[in-house]
Homo-oligomer: A and B are copies of this chain.
Amino acid sequence: MKSAVILLSGGLDSSTLLHYVKGKLDFQLLNALTIRYGQKHVREITCAVAQARAAGVEEHRQIDLTFFGELVAGASALTDPAVPVPALAELAPGQLDQPPTYVPNRNMLFLALAAAYAEAKGVADVFYGAQAQDRYGYWDCTVEFLNRMNAVLGLNRRQPIVLHAPFMMMRKREILKIGLDLGVNYAETWSCYRGQDKACGACPACVERRAAFDALHVTDPLSERMPDARRQTPDRRRRRKA
């Protein structure tokens, strides 16, 4: 039986990844790691718990790094109450490369924790849900980042660890398609970056999520809670239609 460690946020990508690693890559013993790092959208953790249960993971560890948001105060809209989460439509082209929703060095930190956990358990394979965003990018979600992280971990002769990001080259709609085929319950995933009761429909995570569901002509089970931002803020598409 193959074992894996999976970074599970409770969002669309990592929830799909969890079921994909089990259902398609035949890892039977899953160890999920979920990290509370001071994110505003902490409700994603409830979804992570539900997904871990649905996938029948062996162990689901939740780690409290709440201090992290304070350590990087001022540097990210995802963690700092004083930095608003922007609407994707408000971002200038120059901001798309590294938008305010970037969290300083978060992925290296989370992967370092996941690799330590895997090493202690004697597990060689660690997965995370980096994907090719349609409209913006993060340096720590790239193939180069993954390769260079693996070059570091390859130095550890005691316990080889390999990081995998099978969705790295996929758009969110492709990931969603995989998950729908696997029967993932997307009602129990959370994407919105704003820490509100309902998904805002306008932040980068909401816009990407909506675009993925729209592309597949599938209704997002969260859509009742997700207002249509196009109805709230007139954007170019709407003005074109008018």
User: A residues near B, CB below 8 A?
Assistant: 61, 63-65, 67-68, 71-76, 97-98, 102, 104-106, 108-109, 112-113, 115-117, 119-120, 139-140, 142, 144-145, 148-149, 151-153, 155-159, 161
Shortest Cβ distance from A124 into chain B, in angstroms? Answer: 13
B67, A64: Cβ atoms closer than 8 Å = yes
Shortest Cβ distance from A238 into chain B, in angstroms? Answer: 33
Residues from chain B with Cβ under 8 Å of A109 in the complex:
109, 112-113, 116
Give the docked Cα–Cα distance between A159 and B161 (Å). 28
Residues from chain B with Cβ under 8 Å of A139 in the complex:
155-158
A119, B75: Cβ atoms closer than 8 Å = yes
Shortest Cβ distance from A54 into chain B, in angstroms? Answer: 23
Give the docked Cα–Cα distance between A108 and B112 (Å). 6
B63, A71: Cβ atoms closer than 8 Å = yes
A67, B72: Cβ atoms closer than 8 Å = no
**A102-B158, A116-B109 known; A61-B72 Cβ under 8 A:** no
- Contact pick for A120, options B73, B156, B161, CB 8 Å: B73
A113, B71: Cβ atoms closer than 8 Å = yes
Residues from chain B with Cβ under 8 Å of A76 in the complex:
120
Residues from chain B with Cβ under 8 Å of A113 in the complex:
68, 71, 109
B72, A120: Cβ atoms closer than 8 Å = yes
- 21 residue pairs bridging A and B, Cβ less than 8 Å apart: A63-B71, A71-B113, A71-B116, A72-B119, A74-B120, A75-B120, A97-B157, A98-B158, A104-B115, A104-B116, A104-B120, A105-B119, A105-B153, A105-B161, A108-B112, A108-B115, A109-B113, A112-B112, A148-B148, A148-B152, A149-B152
Shortest Cβ distance from A182 into chain B, in angstroms? Answer: 29
Give the docked Cα–Cα distance between A68 and B61 (Å). 11
Residues from chain B with Cβ under 8 Å of A117 in the complex:
71-72
Residues from chain B with Cβ under 8 Å of A72 in the complex:
116-117, 119-120
